[in-house]
Every structure is written in C-alpha cells, then in structure tokens.
C-alpha cells in the first residue's frame, strides 16, 4: 500500500519520535527520550535517520542552562508536500500543503455538464496537475488525499455513490495513482472534515469527536478512541438520513423525513419558500440575510430549523457521547439564529446534566476543513504512531 517516500516510515518508534517533534517542536533529543521513554541511543539513532531522510532538521534554539545550548529538532516542513482535494457537488477544490499543513497554493475547478465518471476524473486530474507543477522536484510531493462526498470505499479508494453528482463506482485511487505515480487516499468528505478538525482545528486532538457538516447534504465523521470510524460498509456518519419525521417529505435516499430534508442548504430554500410568505428564495444565504435585517419570519424559520437540528444532534450525542461536537458547513453560517435553539433543545432533552452541557462549537476551519482533512489522510501515514500498514 505505502510506496515511495511514505515507505521511509517503517518503525513505530520512528513514527512516535517524528510525531513528538511535530507536536512539541522545537524539542531536544533528551526531552524526546524523557517524554517517549525510549532510550537516548535509540532516539539518537532514529533522529539521525530522520535528518538523513530530510524530515527533521536541527536548530540551536534551546534555552541555555549554564552550559552549551542543546541542539533542538524541528520538522523540516518544506522538505515534502501533500495535495488535498475536496470534490464537492459543484466544484473541485485543491490545496498544496507542506508537512506542517501550511496552505501554500489553492485551486478550484467547476464541473461542465453532463458529468460522467470520465469527465469527473479528467477534472480531478486537471485540478491536481497544476498543484504538482508548483513544486520543482516532483519527488517532493508525497501523496494526494481526496475528500469525496457520498459513500466511499476507503480500501479501494472508490466512490461507490456520489448522490449529488448522480455518479457510481468511480475508481478515484486507481486512476490517480496510475496518472501521478503517487500514493492516493480517498475518504468521505464529512469524515475528512472530522480528520481536518482533529489535525488542524482550534479544538485539538480529542480521543472522541463528532463533526457534522450541513451543506448541500448532511453528513458526519466520528473519531472514536483516536480513530476515524468507518463501519464495515463505510456507512458510518450518514447522519443526514436519520429520520426526524416519519411522515415527512421524501428524501433523495428514498426514505421520508430525513434530517437532510430539513437541514441541508437546498431543503432550507425549499422549506423557506413554502413556509415564508411574500418571498422567493434562491439560496439559504438569502434567508439568513433577511433574518439579519430583522425579518421576524426568517428569524423564526431559522430558529425552528435549529430546533430540528438540535433533535438530530441530541440523538447523536446519546449514541456516541463525544468529548466535543463540531458543526460546520454553509448552513451553520446562520449560527447566530440556530445555535441558541440547538443548545436549548439539547438542554431540555439530554439525559444527564453533563449531556445537557455537551461542548458544541462551530468549525473555525470553515470551508477548508474537508481539504485539510484530505491532507491529513497522507500526514497520518507519516506521523501517526500506530501505522496501519
Ligand atoms: Zn434520506
């Protein structure tokens, strides 16, 4: 599975040391030995390898304690690069990051209709190639991560079903690996968002976390026991199809009254047009803007939508009990009206006092969470102490 530069990372000890440097840099060899409980000679040998592999660099930044300043270690962040892709229902967005996850170049390409598997893959390649061209030596790009909406088989890197493009069985990993001769990882976009939050978000790496995205669809990613949870059929996180009203509207999935029929951006437009008199809305943003201007009907509508979302989230909190719940997606831009209603519902309906006060926050990464999560798919192969090889 792992080839090229990723093969550098062979031992668990090496990953533990590399991850320690990433998290604590600048850090001395002695401090690494102390914190990891590895012996000093082991640390020295592995650090030497990491320096030879250009993953780590030395710097004399240490605090002088009377004697010689200790040599400190840093991740050599611009020695290797990663490409992160967010393949959404309207466009494909890409980013080129260094090993520190710093975003160096962005690109966006829009679909031409009709969209077929072939035209989708061509656009994907056309988005990635200019990012690779930004780096003079191709070998410095160590992998491509793709966040794809819909159901994804992460083992084969195939998009099994992309409902918003109406495509099936797209061999993303196979085609990209063949085209670019680089390791490729593919993940569902909401799960990638959870990973992006975990690696780069403002709320740190939590052992358990739930990230829910409210955009063109509604989906979630769970981190359980420090690991992204998929389930045997990669269906974990399809929370948009949790039924809220068994007599509700028919959903794209064939069921009725799913959370997505209330809380996705298109369903907010549809509901606002049927529930609010005197306006024809073309986007959920218009509802939000009118609410901001003081329109009572729009405010009430968004608060009511927040209550429905709160019901869905209460169900999820009772099932998963995460340390933190992170909400993202375009719909959450209306947090001012929705979040108090969400808190209210959870306060009223959760089982225990701590459940009632669950930590619920709005993503600070916003639109970039999914593509940063795609970057983290590759970074995890380099830095994660427990290598899944
Ligand atoms: Zn549904």
Q: How confident is the model at residue 66 (pLDDT cuts 50, 70, 90)?
A: low
- Please determine whether the domains at 4-75 and 81-195+373-383 fall in the same fold group of CATH: no
- Check residue 10 and give its pLDDT: 52
- Check residue 232 and give its pLDDT: 87
Q: How confident is the model over 316-328, as pLDDT tens digits? A: 999 999 999 999 9
Residues with CB under 5 A from ligand 1 (ion): 241, 251, 253, 255, 258
Task: Tell me the CA–centroid distance for residue 259 and ligand 1, in Å.
Answer: 7
Per-residue pLDDT for 386 more than 70? no
Q: Which CATH superfamily is domain 81-195+373-383 in?
A: ATPase, nucleotide binding domain (3.30.420.40)
Task: Tell me the CA–centroid distance for residue 251 and ligand 1, in Å.
Answer: 5
Q: How confident is the model over 85-109, as pLDDT tens digits? A: 999 888 999 999 998 889 999 999 9
pTM of the model: 0.85
Task: Tell me the CA–centroid distance for residue 261 and ligand 1, in Å.
Answer: 7
Task: Tell me the CA–centroid distance for residue 140 and ligand 1, in Å.
Answer: 42
Q: How confident is the model at residue 67 (pLDDT cuts 50, 70, 90)?
A: low
Class of domain 4-75: mainly alpha
Per-residue pLDDT for 333 more than 90? yes
- Check residue 289 and give its pLDDT: 96
Considering the chain, what is the average pLDDT of its residues?
Answer: 89
Q: How confident is the model over 120-163, as pLDDT tens digits? A: 999 999 999 999 998 876 668 999 999 998 889 999 999 999 98
Q: How confident is the model over 196-239, as pLDDT tens digits? A: 998 888 887 788 999 999 998 999 999 998 889 998 888 889 99
Q: What average pLDDT does range 346-374 have in this prediction? A: 90
Q: How confident is the model at residue 279 (pLDDT cuts 50, 70, 90)?
A: very high
- Check residue 1 and give its pLDDT: 36
Q: How confident is the model at residue 77 (pLDDT cuts 50, 70, 90)?
A: confident
d(CA 97, CA 75): 14
- Check residue 4 and give its pLDDT: 44
Instruction: Provide the percentage of residues in the chain whose pLDDT is more than 90.
Output: 66
d(CA 327, CA 313): 10
Q: What average pLDDT does range 342-350 have in this prediction? A: 95
The domains of the chain are located at 4-75, 81-195+373-383, 202-364
202-364: CATH architecture = 2-Layer Sandwich (3.30)
Task: Tell me the CA–centroid distance for residue 315 and ligand 1, in Å.
Answer: 16
- Check residue 138 and give its pLDDT: 61
Q: What average pLDDT does range 249-277 have in this prediction? A: 95
Task: Tell me the CA–centroid distance for residue 79 and ligand 1, in Å.
Answer: 45
């Amino acid at each position: 599975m792992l080839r090229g530069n990723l093969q550098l990372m062979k031992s668990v000890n090496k990953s533990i040391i590399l991850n320690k440097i990433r998290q604590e840099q600048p850090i001395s060899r002695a401090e690494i030995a102390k914190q990891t409980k590895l012996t000093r000679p082991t640390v020295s040998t592995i650090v030497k390898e990491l320096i030879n592999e250009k993953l780590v660099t030395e710097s004399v930044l240490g605090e002088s304690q009377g004697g010689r300043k200790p040599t400190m270690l840093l991740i050599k962040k611009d020695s290797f690069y990663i490409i992160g892709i967010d393949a959404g229902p309207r466009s494909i967005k890409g980013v080129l990051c260094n090993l520190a996850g710093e975003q160096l170049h962005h690109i966006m390409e829009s679909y031409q209709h009709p969209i077929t598997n072939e035209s989708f893959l061509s656009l994907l390649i056309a988005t990635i190639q200019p990012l690779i061209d930004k780096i003079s030596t191709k070998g410095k790009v160590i992998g491509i991560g793709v966040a794809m909406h819909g159901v994804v088989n992460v083992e084969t890197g195939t998009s099994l079903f992309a409902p918003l493009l109406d495509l099936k069985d797209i061999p993303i990993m196979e085609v990209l690996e063949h085209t670019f001769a680089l390791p490729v990882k593919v993940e569902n976009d909401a799960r990638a968002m959870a990973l992006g939050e975990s690696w780069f978000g403002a709320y740190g790496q939590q052992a358990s976390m739930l990230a829910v995205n409210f955009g063109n669809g509604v989906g979630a990613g769970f981190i359980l026991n420090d690991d992204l949870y998929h389930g045997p059929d990669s269906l974990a996180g399809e929370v948009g199809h949790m039924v809220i009203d068994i007599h509700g509207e028919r959903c794209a999935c064939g069921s009725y009254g799913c959370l997505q029929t209330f809380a996705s951006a298109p369903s907010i437009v549809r509901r606002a047009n049927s529930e609010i008199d005197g306006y024809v809305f073309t986007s959920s943003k218009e509802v939000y803007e009118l609410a901001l201007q003081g329109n009572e009907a729009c405010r009430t509508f968004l608060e009511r939508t927040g209550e429905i979302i709160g019901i869905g989230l209460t169900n999820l909190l009772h099932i998963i009990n995460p340390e933190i719940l992170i909400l993202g997606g375009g719909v959450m831009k209306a947090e001012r009206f929705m979040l108090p209603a969400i808190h209210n519902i959870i306060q009223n309906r959760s089982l225990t006092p701590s459940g009632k006060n669950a930590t619920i926050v709005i993503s600070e990464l916003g639109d970039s969470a999914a593509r940063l999560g795609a970057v983290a798919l590759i970074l995890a192969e380099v830095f994660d102490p427990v290598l899944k090889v």
